[in-house]
DNA sequence: CGTGGATTTGAGAGAAATCAAATCATGTGG
DNA sequence: CCACATGATTTGATTTCTCTCAAATCCACG
């Protein structure tokens, strides 16, 4: 089953979970509707009650909240294989937006089908539950990032995290990865202004820690960058044994 | 079964979930070991691999991360009926500390027992999963709070949230609730200095929005306070219908 | 080759941190 | 029952990081 729509999902889940062949089979049989999206399209909106979940097959998406006075906080960035709105399976109402960062191929999976798989295959349910718990673990780390680190450390931390997560699914190597994101959007991830993002990136470049060529990020000195960002990957729970 | 150790849990879960009598029965039969803790005791430490979860029966606990340079970010406050480390059921390794805020009665529930209940009663599994998803929803809102609001709004938001959550379990009425927390701890929740917490509280008092008498909080003008904090409770997912 | 978004630069303003010290409780032991 | 120690709150003064405002490049694309 080389080109199943669930392939990205299976690869991603395999990073943090052990699944039986039967579990894999059940996931491969999920009814997934492929849908193409342009960049910066809102997929699901705050306040809506979705009846399906969105699997990222290709591209990047993010979740965000907008305050009454129009400020935006990006809550998470999502890479292929993730289901950014998996929480809608049990929460019903969205408390934030789901937006494409880039052109995307998303896979729409009906809640009913997911609930059915969860009932029949408890291992799958546990794995999906675990994915939402890792999601929450990343929220916690981002809260620390936004609340307790300087602009420079915040950026170093974010880049270190992305490198690790992208490496785990084979989309980064030697500290190089492609991520089409603007400085304004980085600012919304890190709760800082575009101007400050720009200056922080310049400083990281000046110090020989990174290179950025449009959407091509290159982390030059991983140890130093991770140290600067106080980055400890154990919150990512990347190993299934954990 | 008037005084079961699971009572607080059942009451809390009933706020956001519908359970069958059989589900309730299964939860009541959980083996729960009662343990008393003093204030500011670390219950579970970052990096540990717990084999049980902690149910808050009485008192308050919080979760926190400490950065390499010793700064602390409180990630969440927990009230009776909650299981603050429920994520350990599927994540294995702790990525933060669990600490008592006040004297506490906690109920220790073995992972095995919880996993068994989850297998036998899918409704219970769904409810517990949902609890961890609400936990994550609160993280998201706190991220916005810390990242995007002024000190005054941050404090107003936190107090508004606490009022709602405590009301839901019958521990706040007319905006009054007891919460023994220092200004330094409030600062760690809101990512601001103790000095600033003090000044913000003074401003809220001066404006007639709150009164604080030691650990007794009294919110005087709920609508104004919620407006100031840009507080919209839908992220709390308090109604089961959601 | 113009156009609009993204990036970069400069200067000034502001929210909150830090530093330092005083005051206020609370609880303890003599 | 009071002196004293300890922790929490409060106040004042200064510093700093980051934002805001404004304008200049830069760049991809039609």
**Residue B123's closest chain A neighbor by CA?**
A119
Task: Give the closest residue to A76 by CA, choosing from A57, A96, A92, A59.
Answer: A96
Q: Is the pLDDT of residue B132 over 90?
A: yes
Closest CB to A136 among B67, B72, B135: B135
Query: Which residue is nearest to the C1' sugar atom of C26, using CA?
Result: B214
Helix intervals (H) in A96-121 = 111-120
Share of chain A above pLDDT 90, in %: 94
Q: Which nucleotide is nearest to B202 (CA to C1')?
A: D10
Q: Kindly report, residue by residue over B18-38, the tens digit of the pLDDT.
A: 999 999 999 999 999 999 999
Q: How far apart are CA B5 and CA B28, in angstroms?
A: 8
Q: Which residues of B touch A237 (CB under 8 A)?
A: 91-93, 95
Q: How far apart are CA B54 and CA B106, in angstroms?
A: 6
Burial class (CB in 10 A: 0-12, 13-18, 19+), B27: buried
Q: Is the pLDDT of residue B3 over 80?
A: no
Chain-chain contact of B91 with A130 (C-beta, under 8 angstroms): yes
CA distance A205 to chain B (A): 24
How confident is the model at residue A96, as a pLDDT?
A: 98
Beta-strand ranges (E) seen in B111-236 are 176-178, 210-213, 216-219
Bridge-based pairing state of the strands B176-178 and B61-66:
unpaired
Q: How far apart are CA B62 and CA B64, in angstroms?
A: 7
For A96, B7, B9, B109, B213, the CA distances from B1, given in Å and listed in that order, are 40, 9, 13, 19, 36
Q: Which residues of B touch A150 (CB under 8 A)?
A: none
Going from the N-terminus, what domains does chain A have, and what CATH number goes with each? Answer: 7-141 (2.60.120.10), 150-236 (1.10.10.10)
Q: Is the CB of A113 under 7 A from strand C?
A: no
Query: Which residue is nearest to the C1' sugar atom of C7, using CA?
Result: A198
Q: Kindly report, residue by residue over A196-215, the tens digit of the pLDDT.
A: 999 999 999 999 999 998 89
Q: Is the CB of B184 under 7 A from strand C?
A: no
CA of A35 to C1' of D30 (A): 27
Chain-chain contact of A91 with B133 (C-beta, under 8 angstroms): yes
Chain-chain contact of A230 with B68 (C-beta, under 8 angstroms): yes
Q: Is the CB of B202 under 7 A from strand D?
A: yes
Q: Kindly report, residue by residue over A46-90, the tens digit of the pLDDT.
A: 999 999 999 999 999 999 999 999 999 999 999 999 999 999 999
Q: How many Cα neighbours within 13 Å face the side chain of A29?
A: 12
Q: Is the pLDDT of residue B1 over 50?
A: no
Q: How far apart are CA A178 and CA B121, in angstroms?
A: 44
Q: How far apart are CA B194 and CA B204, in angstroms?
A: 15
Q: Kindly report, residue by residue over A11-41, the tens digit of the pLDDT.
A: 999 999 999 999 999 999 999 999 999 999 9
Question: Which band of pLDDT confidence, cut at 50, 70 and 90, is reported for residue A242?
Answer: low
Question: Which band of pLDDT confidence, cut at 50, 70 and 90, is reported for residue A168?
Answer: very high
Q: How far apart are CA B211 and CA B176, in angstroms?
A: 9
How confident is the model at residue B24, as a pLDDT?
A: 96
Q: Kindly report, residue by residue over A149-159, the tens digit of the pLDDT.
A: 999 999 999 99
Q: How far apart are CA A36 and CA B150, in angstroms?
A: 39
Q: Is the CB of B182 under 7 A from strand D?
A: yes
Q: How far apart are CA A167 and CA A165, in angstroms?
A: 5
Average model confidence (pLDDT) for chain A?
95
Closest CB to A95 among B69, B119, B137: B137
Chain-chain contact of A136 with B141 (C-beta, under 8 angstroms): no
Q: How far apart are CA A17 and CA B211, in angstroms?
A: 49
Q: B74 - beta bridge partners?
A: B64
Q: Which residues of B touch A242 (CB under 8 A)?
A: 91-93
CA of B135 to C1' of D29 (A): 45
Query: Which residue is nearest to the C1' sugar atom of C15, using CA?
Result: B150
Task: Give the closest residue to A113 by CA, choosing from A27, A189, A192, A39.
Answer: A27
Q: Is the CB of B102 under 7 A from strand D?
A: no
Contact in structure between B10 and B24 (CB atoms under 8 Å): yes
How confident is the model at residue B242, as a pLDDT?
A: 58
Chain-chain contact of B191 with A146 (C-beta, under 8 angstroms): yes
Question: Which band of pLDDT confidence, cut at 50, 70 and 90, is reported for residue A2?
Answer: very low
Which nucleotides of strand C are protein-proximal, with an atom < 7 A from a CB? 5-11, 15-20, 26
**Residue A116's closest chain B neighbor by CA?**
B122
Closest CB to B140 among A130, A133, A139: A139
Share of chain B above pLDDT 90, in %: 94
Which nucleotides of strand D are protein-proximal, with an atom < 7 A from a CB? 7-13, 17-22, 28
């Amino acid at each position: 089953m080389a080109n199943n729509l669930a392939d990205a999902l299976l690869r991603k889940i395999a990073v943090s979970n052990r699944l039986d062949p039967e579990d894999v089979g059940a996931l491969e049989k999920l009814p997934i509707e492929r849908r193409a999206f342009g960049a910066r399209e809102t997929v699901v909106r705050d306040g809506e009650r979705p009846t399906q979940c969105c699997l990222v097959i290709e591209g990047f998406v993010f979740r965000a909240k907008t305050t009454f006075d129009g400020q935006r906080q990006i809550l998470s960035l999502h890479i292929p294989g993730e289901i950014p709105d998996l929480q809608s399976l049990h929460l019903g109402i969205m408390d934030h937006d789901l937006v494409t960062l880039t052109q995307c191929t998303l896979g729409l999976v009906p809640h009913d089908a997911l609930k059915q798989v969860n009932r029949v295959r408890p291992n799958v349910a546990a794995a999906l539950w675990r994915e939402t718990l890792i999601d929450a673990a990343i929220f916690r780390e981002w809260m620390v990032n936004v609340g307790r680190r300087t602009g420079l450390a915040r950026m170093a931390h974010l880049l270190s995290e992305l490198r690790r997560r992208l490496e785990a699914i084979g989309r980064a190597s030697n500290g190089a990865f492609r991520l089409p994101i603007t400085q304004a959007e980085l600012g919304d991830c890190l709760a800082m202004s575009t101007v400050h993002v720009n200056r922080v990136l310049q400083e990281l470049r000046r110090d020989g820690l990174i290179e950025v060529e449009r959407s091509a990020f290159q982390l030059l000195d991983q140890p130093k960058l991770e140290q600067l960002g106080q980055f400890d990957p154990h919150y990512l729970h990347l190993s299934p044994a954990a």
